[in-house]
Amino acid sequence: MKKNSYKNMSFFDHFKDLRRLLLRSIISIIFFTCFVLINKNFIFDSIIFSPIRSNFISYTLISKLGYFFHQQINIAPKKIIIQNNQFLGQFNTYVLVSLIGGIILSYPFICYELWNFIKPGLFLKERKILKNILILSSILLILGLIIGYFILSPFAIQFSNTFFISNFPKNIFSLNDYVILIINSTILMGILFLFPLIPLFLSKLDLITFQTLKEYRKYAFFLLFIIASAITSGEFITTILIFCPLYLLYELSIIITLIFNI
């Protein structure tokens, strides 16, 4: 559909298209939520509870990385006790994880539907730019979710399990708190990886420039290193593992800003 014909559409035609978009998006979320519900054992045993196992892939790789730097690093958590102390607690967790999983799995389809909805109202150049932004945002989100699950979540678990204010309290985690920790760590990093899009939009509004990002690079370097140190309690190897993706995001924001403003 050309842009002229798109302009000739009435309000109700646009509303019908929007309704179809919402309906298909809701159906996709329901479909993938049911998919997660059906695969309960795999989702919880192999994904949700995997980071508390000592043989989790992240702990193994970090241990091997420590040997490379001639340091002995063992961040694999000791025996962690997770208990459910709420009526319907396990069922509520089951539904929550399934719904969030359904939303994450349906994200690419929703982006595709959103693209089809707004594409007719754009010029050819605008279509190309927006299409690249949608593709880039999907890639960044997926990378962020992966790093959040395999890097940030294990460190959060290890810190929570080893931090004590006294010898008297024992760390026994509730099911709800543990699942929320995994979800927050994973989704937080996924959202954080969308950071390069912010400088891009600000540059389009002429609020910042490519040169501005370059000039503040050294300040960003130290600030991100401090943030990474705070997250990992100052452990050198783990600090570097968190710092590198964060700083690469800043460098990526500079590159994206340059490319989209050429």
Rounded to the nearest integer, the mean pLDDT of the chain is 82
Res 195 pLDDT > 90:
no
User: Does pLDDT of 1 surpass 50?
Assistant: no
23-37, 105-119, 140-154, 229-243: least confidently modelled range: 229-243
Given a contact cutoff of 8 angstroms between Cβ atoms, the answer to whether 80 and 161 are in contact is: yes
How far apart, in whole angstroms, are the C-alpha atoms of residue 168 and residue 182? 26
- CB neighbour list of residue 82: distance below 8 Å, 6 or more residues apart: 49, 52, 172, 173, 174, 175, 178
Q: What is the pLDDT of residue 90?
A: 94
pLDDT at 73 over 70: no
Averaged over 148-166, what is the pLDDT? 84
User: What is the pLDDT at residue 158?
Assistant: 81
User: Pick the residue with more confidence: 168 or 242?
Assistant: 168
